[in-house]
Amino acid sequence: MITTTSEIIFHVTMKLDDGSAADSTKVNNKPAKLRMGDGSLSPAFEAELQGLSAGDSKEFTLYAKDAFGENNPDNIYHMERSKFEAESLEVGAIIMFAQQDGHEIPGVIREIVGDSVTIDFNHPLAGQTITFDVDVIEVNA
């Protein structure tokens, strides 16, 4: 049974309000692995998993604040076009950016106007209510 410190392997399908699939680990048959309490998922998501066991399935809906967060205008940056390779500049393209600590984070090109490129570092599913369909494969205490 899943507890606050379990390591779990599970499949998850995420659906938007209109019922369309946003993402699914089943597409490539690569289940997700999670250590409960490691901060990689929201406390609300983890709370929905508590008490489930291997073989269990559950569908639940989380509002934006409990799923991938609200859109934060502070995560939108305007950068000079000259900082990019010309061929990589396309609205909707996702580009990886190195942080000071060496980790990389994705940014989505939202707009290109003249010499200015608008990059959105919000999670692509931020601001949206998401329905999760979870199938627990394995639970390790």
CB distance 78 to 84 below 8 Å: no
What backbone torsions phi and psi does residue 28 show, to the nearest 5 degrees?
-105, 10
Tell whether the torsion through CA atoms of 75, 124, 84 and 105 is positive or negative.
Answer: positive
pTM of this structure:
0.78
Kindly report, residue by residue over 39-89, the tens digit of the pLDDT.
888 999 999 999 999 999 999 999 999 999 999 999 999 999 998 877 668
Residue ranges of domains in the chain, CATH in brackets: 7-69+125-140 (3.10.50.40), 73-120 (2.40.10.330)
Split at pLDDT 50, 70, 90, the class of 141 is confident
Interval 10-32 mean pLDDT: 93
CB distance 45 to 16 below 8 Å: no
| SS3 per residue for 96-138 | EEECCCCCEEEEEEEEEECCEEEEECCCCCCCCCEEEEEEEEE
